[in-house]
Structure 1
Amino acid sequence: MTPPPFPARLPLLLAFDLDGTLIRDGGTELPDATAQALARLRGLGVKFAIVTGRDTPPRSVREGVQPDAVATNNGGRVEVGTELLAQAEFSLEDLQAVLAHELEGARLVLFTPETLYVDLPAGVGPEPWMLARGYRPLAEAPQEGIVKAGFYHPEVAALARRLRESHPHLVLTGAQNPYPHFLTVTPTGAHKAAALVQIAGALDVPMENVVAFGDSDNDEVMLEVAGYAVQVGTLPLLARHADHQLPGHEALGEYLNGIAAVLEGK
């Protein structure tokens, strides 16, 4: 697959969402074709960034991509190489507003860089990823250092509407397709567009030489600011920002090989 016109020059930064874009939703492994294409591009001097809503990428994905930068928590925490470039945290007032929710029986997870703090309703067990990471009760959560909140409930859209009215400076994603029962709240300025701009600046790549790949609503702002935007999947919300569209993450390896071929002049 030969991609349509895009910044076929160095320096070039490819920025990838994780779930549904670089790997299957909820997965932990890079498809072989994607890993091979990334290695080919890396050999040509292309730079990579992972920009994800997760609080940490799977180790196997990080090892396969060998990213130059990683932004987690929807862009709230940004690392370039081994340097922590930025970390957004809730103020006490904003955290209290997030905790004062009206969703009876909701699962709530607060994230610090080191620990998960979880509120599970009676009779509801933890998700496998919570068990894998390890977690503590919500009652033990500190009042400082919280970088993300996640709600699981069928009516998260109502909470999202209320928070947008009362605290419009907070960043809300989800509560709509493809994640209608999941809402993520991050502090002021903690979104993927801000993270991508910081990463590009730190890596000395002009924004017109940045290609962003994403599949869901939290990727919209990232696709909007990138010099070239590739939508993975068919979410209507992203279509107006996309310069190119891939049917799913399985098609990414072939597309990346097309980019490598253009850079090699083949």
Structure 2
Amino acid sequence: MTSDNVESGTAVPTSEVGVRYDLDGPVATVTLCRPEVLNAQTPAMWAELANISRKLPGDVRVVIVRGEGRAFSAGLDLSVARGDGDSSLGRLAHLSPSECADRIAGFQSAFTWLRNPSIVTIAAVHGHAIGAGFQLALNCDMRILAEDAKFSMAEVTLGLVPDLGGTKRLAELVGPSRALEICLTGRRIAADEADRIGLATAVVADLPGAVADLAAAVVSADQGAVAEIKALLAGASLRSYQEQDRAEREAQTRRLRDLLGAGE
């Protein structure tokens, strides 16, 4: 990474780890850039994703996540997972339970920052989004799919469970029964089905154009209102109707006071 003081409109190099981000005013674009292996993910990429979350300027309001080449991400790089590095599956298996869980928590941090209430995150998905790729998209607030997009939660084919922050969002979007079926079968979910069952925010013919238009719409909206709306909706499933009504009242009171300057 370069210095924290990054000029707007510049690409930010990230050495050879396979991730970069570009800044265009309040919009940051994070790109997985290992197209030769369909953006298969490694622990080094996860470390860089987490690092990007700490490097983003405070005025960034929208983060777009995309993949370079023919796919969003083919998931975990099995050559690394089956190797003998510190983060290989074999090494993780020989850690103590608490050490293994701590290591996985570090991996999760590469994904979970995308749920930060101060930003709106958009996954621009084309081609395959498998396993870790699917979970990366699930951690984003919205998923805009090209017509060739395909999701798969393939961890079960390795005898593993999804562990990168995707299971709660998946169950919220499609319900626990369908989420169980998706995770147990590891089957491919085409864009039209993803749209029908609620995994896709939209399926579009022009992915870059649609994502750019959505990002522009978010940026044009009042920043305080966007943050309050995101928080209201994120917590809605955990609240009763009465609790949600109260949360709405409290959020609106804050907006009115901020907009009209009351209490200063």
Same fold (TM over 0.5): no
Query: Per chain length, whose mean CA-contact separation is higher, i.e. which structure has more relative contact order (CA < 8 Å, sep 6+)?
Result: 1
Q: Relative to total residues, which structure has the larger helix share, 1 or 2? A: 2
Higher strand content, 1 or 2: 1
